Amino acid sequence: MKFKKIILYVTLFLLLYPSITVANTNETPNINSRAAIVLDRATKKILYGKNENEVRKMASTTKIMTAIVVLENSNLYDTVTISKNAALTGGSTLGIKEGDKITVCDLLYGLLLKSGNDTAVALAEHVGGSIEGFAEIMNKKSQELGLINTHFVTPHGLDNDNHFTTAYELALLTDYALNNQTFLNFVSTKNYAVTINGTQKPINNTNELLGNLNGVYGVKTGFTNGANRCLVTACKRDNLDIICVVLGADTKNFRTQDSTKLIEYTYKTYQMLDVENIINEAFSKWKQDNLSSFNISKAISNNLNPEIKNRNFKYYPVKKEDINNIKTSIECEYNLVSPLESGSKIGTIFVNIDNTSVLNYDIVNTNKIEKKNCFNYTIEFLSKFFYYLTICY
């Protein structure tokens, strides 16, 4: 057993060593995979892309969608009786047989750790009634998520010309799935024992990076002859949380190396900028210097209350080399016409890198400002009239 562990560690080192040496430079990695992406989960910004919008087969990374559909449409503690159709499914399997009884929960472990095609069919039949019925639910979910270049035919991902996605849309799907805590628990599990007919069977996660690369917490491997080697990886270090997808690698070694290269490159190249703090400081100073400069014609009051609208994240990934080139600017219309509804846009705040805008937010007025009417003008006239009378007499 000890000798086997030594062999495993040596093998992993040999797999990862070329990636680590390349990742020690600031150069964009050269990878074998046909398509790839690194996506920042907080902002959905693409930090690296290679043919990320190219339609490709996805192999067992399909099971990310399979798992989400099952989790959203089934009960984990339901018991499933395995059909002949599920038991005879080829490729990677958990090894369940016709008539076996196993819970949905343990089928999901078999799906996401062992990458069982037989468990995928069993779950599809349980939730959708058939593979075709389940595929309809998968595609409906895909449409809900706005995945316009993704289409599912099977729950396992065995090669089919009508079964495809892109690296970008697979990353978006994975990001959605990881927001489900139960899914996250499954894909971050290294070892588990499923129970089939009351008997336990130990299984291991096929994800070679889980537990072996700093920060990796999932997600899913894949392989077919048509898709080649695929790997979706989630990794978090400090406050930079990313999804790395590689599709179409020639070998398992290449998909491991490519994923490691891209992950190490990302963390060496990017850091999260506290953009909320930068914007707050700039906006506070701007208000202090400019709030009295507004003129609202025909308004009952000049009482503006500017606020920044839709600040949807605190941090933003920026290349480390650009940190000292971050600047903010504000463009605003200072001459306004009443009435102004609450929420009316009056300007824009920009976050710029080397004079190029990377972020911008609307500045809105949160106070409703009404237009003067005849009564207001009459009162204003009388006030001025009596004021002048007082002065004259």
pLDDT tens digits, 185-241: 999 999 999 999 999 999 999 999 999 999 999 999 999 999 999 999 999 999 999
**In this predicted model, what pLDDT tens digit does every residue of 139-176 receive, in sequence order?**
999 999 999 999 999 999 999 999 999 999 999 999 99
The reported pLDDT for the residue numbered 164 is 98
Q: Distance (Å, rounded) from C-alpha 19 to C-alpha 259? A: 9
Low-confidence ranges of the chain (pLDDT < 70): 1-26, 298-301, 371-393
| 289/364 Cα distance (integer angstroms) | 17
Active site residue 63: yes
Instruction: Give 198's DSSP letter.
Output: T
* Domain boundaries 33-250, corresponding CATH code: 3.40.710.10
Both tokens of residue 15? 């797999």
> Looking at the chain, which residues constitute the CATH 3.40.710.10 domain(s)?
33-250
Q: How far apart are CA 142 and CA 127, in angstroms?
A: 17
* Residues 91/156, Cβ–Cβ less than 8 Å: yes
Let me know if 114 is a catalytic residue: no
Residues 175 and 171: their CA atoms lie apart, in Å, by: 6
H-helix segments, the chain: 2-23, 63-73, 84-87, 104-112, 117-128, 131-144, 167-178, 181-187, 252-269, 275-290, 374-392
Peptide bond into 339 cis (omega under 30): yes
- What does the pLDDT read at residue 18? 45
Q: Which CATH class is domain 273-374?
A: mainly beta
Task: Give me 62's structure tokens.
Answer: 């399909």
Question: Which has the closest alpha carbon to 227: 274, 174, 166?
Answer: 166
Q: What is the largest CA-CA distance in the chain?
A: 109
- Active-site residue, selected from the candidate residues 33, 115, 142, 188: 115
Contact criterion met (CB below 8 Å) for 3 and 231 = no
Query: Is 74 in the active site?
Result: no
Q: Out of 19, 60, 74, 142, which one is annotated catalytic?
A: 60
Q: What is the pLDDT of residue 69?
A: 98
Instruction: Count Cα neighbours of 367 within 13 Å in the Cβ-side half-sphere.
Output: 13
Catalytic site residue from 50, 57, 63, 114: 63
